[in-house]
Structures are given as structure tokens and as C-alpha cells.
Amino acid sequence: EQGWPELERIPHPPRRIPLLGDLLGASRHTPLQDTLRYAWQLGPIFRRKAFHREFVFVWGHSLAADLADESRFAKHVGLGIANLRPVVGDALFTAYNHEPNWQTAHDVLAPGFSREAMAAYHPMMLDVAARLTGHWDRELAAGRTVDVPGDMTKLTLETIARTGFGHDFGSFERDRLHPFVTAMVGTLTYAQRLNSVPTPALLRRAGRRNDADIAYLHRTVDDLVRARAGGGGDGGGQGDLLDRMLDTVHPGTGERLSAENVRRQVITFLVAGHETTSGALSFALHYLARHPEIAARARAEVDRVWGDADVPGYKQVAKLRYVRRVLDEALRLWPTAPAFAREAREDTVLAGEHPMRRGAWALVLTAMLHRDPEVWGPDADRFDPDRFEAPAVRARAAHTYKPFGTGARACIGRQFALHEATLVLALLLRRYDLRPDPAYRLRVTERLTLMPEGLRLGLERRTTPR
């Protein structure tokens, strides 16, 4: 039972192989990019079969807009997300819509993403950014190029750990990844692999390593919580995410988050709060290095808005409209969370054409929606931040740009990510000229998120005008 009574009307790839369905021949390392190739061939809605299950994919803008209708559709927790539940259970990202802890945690944490909270995080974000530029200055002095995705991942992990939980992983002071990151990436990779095998039994060894990874994540977070509860931790007492979770009693229900739920939320924020932002920064830096004229425009804006200030104030970040558009455009071409799933709340008809039963679901392929030629034109593959100038945005149909998902379950960290990434891009543009490796061709790796593989940039310290 697929929940799509007229499934046979939805196009599918020509080659249908028993058991493995359409997945045979697809690389297990790039499932998203394989699906994107099918999308071009098969059109705005299509299906693929794997292990006797049909998966429906949607990317046409009118279909995607209909799925954004919150009265008829909601987030679907399935596939990769459901596989994360052994790690993070009913925390924000992985909660089923009906689980009470979603609303409780959402209400407790929402003020942690308010404008006031963001202003309080701003100086901490500057501190972490200074560790990045310190590292880049040293690489530059040693005549080395920099590892963009690696360093952006260190930056964003340190930022969320510091602002959220007053914790310091010391990422810039180590040669290798912090074991927490290794364990986190391990569980993410395992979750993705679960999607490409018919039964977890085939991954028994990897499953044991996964159990060890999860145990390590739990231990680390429990230490962090204990330190805070004991009054320690260098971010304690200033209303960060951890304080809120430990202290807040929900005003409506009188509920408090359990210790187990807090653990799940901390892991969720450490994961959700860094990979995606790191990818967004990395893609943006790739395009800035490739388009010197765009980098020059962005830098001119930074110089104009920041003036002589050595470091920008909180309000000077939101004024960087063009830098922000560079980021928007990077997230259009490579939305680092490249898809999200929607399910029917009741029996309904998708876009007046495809009947769906209650609970039937589809994946919205954001990465394709963002290149729909009917919305973005025949040059949709071209990097052009001007697409996000206000008149162009106003002229565009609603629900055509969804890097942060949609509806009640959209990204709670959106403003956080945009503030952090805009700030860091601006600091880097102000400090360095970016020199791309002319031989580099963009290759995109997939874990649960997208990242430009092997991207290294040369740097020159900028001398003029400051």
C-alpha cells in the first residue's frame, strides 16, 4: 500500500530491476545527484523504486507550492530522518508531528533564536571567527592553501557549541577532527547507508561501530550537561540554549524537558547547527573565488557598511544585503539540506492531479526546485546573486525557494545560520583575496548534507584600502 491510488500515472525510470528497483547502477555515494539526473529526464514529479517500495519525488514549482500548504500537508519523518531516531529520538528535528515534546521544545527554544539572543551570540561568533582567521593567517604565512570545507566545519561546530552550550571543542587547535565530530559523521553516514540496503543485518559490523559512536556522543553531552548543572562551563548562566533547556518550565503546560530529551536536543543542535552552515559557507566561498567581480562587489559593500570598524557590530551584519544575496544564491544552487519530506494530513489531491491517501508522502527535491527553469529561467545553473534583489524576489511565485524547509517544522536555526555565515563571509572578504585553483572542478559530496569536495583556496592578505 503506497498511499498513491494513481501511482501508475507518475513517471519512473525505464529500467526496473526486481528487488533492487532503480537503485542498481546508482552510486551509493551520490544518491541525491543520481536522483537529480532522473529528475531532468522524468519531469516535475516522478518515482523510483527500491526494495519493493516506491518513492515519489517532486520538484516542479506548482507541485512543491501545493505541498507547502500546511492545512493539507505536514513534515514527514521517514527515510534518513527516521534512521536518526535511535540517536536523537523525539528531539526537534526528528520528532513525529504528534509527539508532545516537539511543541514543548519548540516553545522553550524559540526565544534562543530571537533577535536579542542573536545579538548576545554575536560577540561569541566573532571570537570563533578570529580563531579561523588566525589559522588562515598561519596557513598563508606558511605558503599553504586552505582546506575550505574542513575549516568551515571547524568554525561552525565551534560556533554552535560555544553559543549553544558554552563548550569549546578546540577544533582549530587540533590536527585531526575532534572525536565527537568523527562519531557524529559516523552515525550520519551509517544512517544514510541504512537507506541503501534491504536490511540492517547487512551492516552488522558498521552497526556495532555505530553503537559505539552513539555511546560516545551520549557520554560527551552528558559531561557537558553535568558541567553546566554544576555551575561550570564558560558560557554558563547567560541564557544560552542549554540554560533555557535546563531552566525553562513551559508556561502553558508546566512541562520541563527531561534529561534524556535535553541530551537529544544538544546532539541535534550540534549536528543540525553546523554541517549545513559549513556547506553553505564553503559553496559561497567557491563561487566568490570563481567570480572576482562578485567578490569585489561584496567587499565594497563590507567596506562601505563597516567603515573603519575593526570588527562589526551586530547591526552591521544585517546591513550587508549583497553578501547575504551571495549566500542566498549559494543555497539556491546547493541547498545543503537538499530535500525534505511532506505527508498528507488527510486524503487529498496533490495539485489537483495526484490523489494521495492520508499519510502518503513525497520528497521535495529542493536542489531541483531551485533550478526549475519555469521559475529561474534558462540560465538557472548560473551563479547570480542579483536574483535575490527585492524586485526579483517580489516578482517570483511563492514557495519557490526553500533551503530551510517549510511550515511549522522549518529550520529553527535559519536566522542563526544566516547571521553567522554573512558575518564570516564578510570578515573573510575584508581580510583576504581568494585565489582559486584553476584546475579545481566542483564535485559535491553527500552525507546527509552537501559539501564541495576537496575545495582548497589560495589566500593573499588584502592590503588596500585597509
Nearest approach, Cβ of residue 34 and ligand MNH (Å): 20
- C-beta separation of 338 from 32 below 8 A: yes
- Site track for ligand MNH across 102-131, x = CB under 6 A: ----x-------------------------
For the question of residue 104 being annotated catalytic, the response is no
Phi (first) and psi of residue 288, to 5 degrees: -65, -40
Cell reading at 321: 544585503
Does the footprint of ligand MNH cover residue 336 (CB under 6 A)? yes
Q: Give the shortest CB-123-to-ligand MNH separation in angstroms.
A: 17
Q: Which of 73, 411, 416, 449 is catalytic?
A: 411
Stretch that binds ligand MNH, among 147-155, 256-264, 413-421, 429-437 (CB under 6 A): 413-421
Q: Which is nearer to ligand MNH, 126 or 203 (CB)?
A: 126
For position 264 contacting ligand MNH by CB under 6 A, the verdict is no
Query: Which of 383, 404, 406, 416 is labelled catalytic?
Result: 404
3-state helix, strand, coil in the chain (%, to 5): 55, 10, 35
Under the binding rule (CB under 6 A), the answer on residue 432 touching ligand MNH is no
The stretch among 25-33, 48-56, 224-232, 269-277 that binds ligand MNH (CB under 6 A) is: 269-277
| Segment contacting ligand MNH by CB under 6 A, of 247-255, 316-324, 336-344, 372-380 | 336-344
| Smaller CB separation from ligand MNH, 235 or 405 | 405
147 bridge partner residues: 456
Q: Are 21 and 52 in contact (CB under 8 A)?
A: yes
**Among 331, 217, 340, which residue's Cα sits nearest to residue 277?**
331
Q: Are 106 and 373 in contact (CB under 8 A)?
A: no
What is the chain's alpha carbon radius of gyration, rounded to the nearest angstrom?
A: 22
Contact pick of 73, 93, 283, 383 for ligand MNH (by CB under 6 A):
93
Orientation angle between helical segments 292-306 and 321-333, nearest 10 degrees:
140
Q: Which stretch binds ligand MNH (CB under 6 A): 8-16, 167-175, 197-205, 275-283?
A: 275-283
Longest dimension (CA), the chain: 66
Q: Which is nearer to ligand MNH, 42 or 455 (CB)?
A: 455
Binds ligand MNH by CB under 6 A, chosen from 117, 128, 417, 424: 417
User: What is the C-alpha to C-alpha distance for residues 169 and 149, in angstroms, rounded to an integer?
Assistant: 17
- 88 is written with which cell numbers? 536523537
CA distances in angstroms from 212 to 165, 216, 436, listed in the order given: 23, 6, 39
C-alpha 364/C-alpha 410 separation (Å) is: 13
**Choice from 283, 334, 404, 432 touching ligand MNH (CB under 6 A):** 404
Only one of the segments 303-311, 375-383, 397-405, 453-461 lies at the binding site for ligand MNH (rule: CB under 6 A); that segment is 397-405
Which of helix, strand or coil describes residue 432? strand
First to last CA, the chain: 65
Least Å distance, CB 327 to ligand MNH, is 8
422 carries an active-site annotation: no
Give the C-alpha separation, 242 to 239, whole Å.
Answer: 8
CB of 326 to ligand MNH, least distance (A): 13
Task: CB nearer to ligand MNH: give 72 or 435.
Answer: 72
Catalytic one of 276, 336, 400, 406 = 276
Residues 157-176 touching ligand MNH, rule: CB under 6 A, are: 160
Number of residues that bind ligand MNH (CB under 6 A): 26
What is d(CA 253, CA 141) in angstroms, rounded to the nearest whole number? 57
Is 143 flagged in the annotation as binding? no
| Separation between Cα atoms, residue 84 and residue 92, nearest integer Å | 12
**Cα distance between residue 311 and residue 126, in whole Å:** 8
Binding-site sequence positions for heme? 411
- Interface ranges with ligand MNH (CB under 6 A): 75, 81, 92-93, 106, 160, 268-269, 272-273, 276-277, 280, 336-337, 340, 403-405, 409-413, 416-417
Annotated binding site: 411
* Residues assigned a catalytic role: 276, 404, 411
